[in-house]
Chain A
Amino acid sequence: MRIWKYGDDINTDMLFPGKYTYTAATAEEIKPHLLEDLDAEFAGNVHEGDLLFAGKNFGCGSSREQPVVGLKAVGVQAIVAKGFARIFYRAAINQGLLLVECPEAVDAYKDGDEVKLDAKAGILEVAGKQYTFPKLPPEILAIRDAGGLLPYTMAKLQARK
């Protein structure tokens, strides 16, 4: 598992450039451009189970779900940050991607530290120290646990019939 560490105010243009927003729509089309203007190494080297660590206001800017769709598709476990911008936060719930808001853990993390994540228990361990992070309200957790908003919506529509 690799940890990719970034700073504050990482905006959605850095995570997925605007110039591709009307040409790349599917996860496969999105993947090669992930974090293109932030870290040229990322798209070619990210693996399933990797984690992102970042500062405050992660995902600010355009309402762009493509980075979330792409990060979920390449198997990123979670994004750990000091804070998330609200549209990005909703987008992650809607794609079923775990966001961990935990400034203390981000501050504590140093290159090479061992990191363990227990999503169910809501515990993140950095270099042997445990941090808890806030859980989503139950009605919102249900969306993420369904695998995202579309599977959740389909289930509701079918139940209605």
Chain B
Amino acid sequence: MGKTFAEKVLAKKSGQAEVVPGQIVIVEPEHLLTHDNTSAIIGKIGGEIKQYGVARPDMPIIVLDHVIPAVDEKTATNHFKIREYVKANKLPHFYDIGQGICHQVVVEKGLARPGDILVGSDSHTCMYGAVGAFCTGIDRTEAAALILMGKTWLRVPDTIKMTLTGTLQPGVTAKDLVLHIIGDIGADGANYQAVEFHGNIGALSIDDRLVIANMGIEMGAKIAVFPVDDKTRKWLAAAGLKESEYEAVWADPDAKYIRELTYDLSKIVPVVAAPHKVDNVKPVSELEGIPINQFLLGTCTNGRLSDLELAADILDGHKVAEGSRFLVLPASKEIYEAALDKGVIARLSRAGALVLPPGCGPCLGAHQGCLAPGEKCLSTSNRNFKGRMGCKDAEIYLASPATVAASAITGTLTDPRKVLSGVSK
């Protein structure tokens, strides 16, 4: 009988001929991602690291991105301790502040190879499924144990097969597609399960796939994975990974799925996830006119060059509405510099955007761009939970970069297709 992607990877990595859903396997992940939380993680095992050392120094990837630059003595001390730990243990994969958001850095540096297992003490670790990796989130304690042991357990998941047909219409993006799917199956629609994307994958760019895989956790998925195709191979080559350096894995045509769903991309419309749940998804057209105080373009979901370019194209010839503020955070230094070279940053800035350094910024409410009670934010990020952006009495709406840019012009929630068709010009 055929096997799913997850069954194949977990069998191979646990050294077994085959595995079945529900089975517990022991694996040695190629990489363990941690970020600013590295400080809390190593704080749990300081003595043991000294005594036993780091099990596999090439395993940890550490990226400082959540609260950067440090906002106070406490966060500065966290960063300091992490740098000392990296030096003392000679860890090769360390990226200091300003390099970008951890998940973007991992894929850009070619650290997420197709068929590899990566775990990270951050729920959006699932993003590298876009390039065919098996990757999932864990907690800080498990990260600490991994530093010492170099291995962990995983339960072989059941898999949902999602087949995509058609192509997206102008003004509609991968963000609208993934929000539509989450609205359809619910925030726990794929809990404990893997999600495989099949069908007209070629219609989606790697940036599109990264958006979709990133949001896998918002439907509860353990992994959300795409097959490796020519687009992936080309993208990985640009990231420095030769085809000979990885072994892509994909499901057999007769693999057994727990559920099969089909989505026609041509039927997707611009949508928002209204407060306070990511599966509270509605067409933008139903909520048009809601006044917005803050716009946010960025995060590990939608801070890539194509997102910034799309927003700049929509904002061209317009200004951010008076009384609103528009924050832009490129997802990485590489993206920031490409956007500088192409003039995208200048276009966004001249339209009224405030460009912040590459990092997580306002998304988690720890600093930068927090909201006041009663305020509303329209954001390209991945979570609209109560209190998420620092204030439990504020509201967050999630949307695509196109919807955020179009709405920034009017200061109210606006269907981007209207701006693109010149209706509001």
A residues bordering B, Cβ < 8 Å?
A: 9, 11, 13-14, 17-19, 21-23, 25, 36-37, 56-57, 60-65, 68, 83, 85-87, 89-91, 94-95, 137, 139-140, 148-150, 152-154, 156-157
Contacts and interface: CB of A to CB of B under 8 A. Distances in A.
B165 interface: no
18 contacts: A11-B385, A17-B392, A18-B387, A19-B387, A23-B75, A25-B40, A37-B392, A61-B385, A62-B123, A63-B139, A83-B188, A86-B220, A86-B222, A87-B138, A91-B141, A149-B145, A153-B145, A157-B148
A156 B52 CA distance: 12
Contact of B149 (A11, A63, A65, A156): A156
B251 to A, nearest CB: 21
B145 A85 contact: no
B122 interface: yes
Nearest to A139: B24
Interface in B311-370: 364-366, 370
A89 B155 CA distance: 12
A21 B145 CA distance: 20
Contact of A139 (B74, B78, B153, B392): B153
A14 B145 contact: no
Contacts of B386: 13-14, 37
B388 interface: yes
A60 B142 contact: no
A86 B74 contact: no
Nearest to A148: B141
A22 B67 CA distance: 8
Contacts of B370: 19
Nearest to A84: B191
Q: Mostly helix, strand, loop or mixed at chain B's interface?
A: loop
B277 interface: yes
A70 to B, nearest CB: 13
Given A57-B220, A139-B153, 12 more contacts: A18-B390, A19-B364, A57-B188, A57-B191, A62-B123, A62-B364, A63-B123, A65-B139, A94-B145, A137-B24, A149-B141, A153-B144
A63 B121 contact: yes
Contacts of B78: 22
A27 to B, nearest CB: 12
Interface string B249-288: 0000000000000000000000000000101000000000
A153 B188 contact: no
B304 interface: no
Contacts, number: 129
B37 A21 contact: yes
Q: Which interface class (under 10, 10 to 19, 20 to 34, 35 or more) fits B?
A: 35 or more
B139 A87 contact: yes
Interface stretch (B42-50, B88-96, B399-407): B42-50
Nearest to B364: A18
B48 A21 contact: no
A68 B139 CA distance: 10
Contact of A95 (B141, B187, B277): B141
B36 interface: yes
B86 to A, nearest CB: 18
Contact of B139 (A14, A90, A137): A90
Contacts of B66: 21-22
Nearest to B360: A18
Contacts of B416: none
A13 B75 contact: no
A120 B139 CA distance: 26
Contacts of B365: 17-19
A13 B144 CA distance: 22
Contact of A140 (B39, B122, B153, B192): B153
Nearest to A23: B74
Contacts of A83: 188, 191
Contacts of A37: 386-387, 392
B182 to A, nearest CB: 11
B140 interface: yes
B411 interface: no
Contact of A21 (B24, B138, B217, B366): B366
Contacts of B388: 13, 18
Contacts of B138: 63, 87, 90
B346 to A, nearest CB: 32
Contacts of B148: 153, 157
A156 B150 CA distance: 13
Nearest to B145: A153
Contacts of A91: 139, 141-142
Nearest to A62: B123
Contacts of A87: 123, 137-139, 217
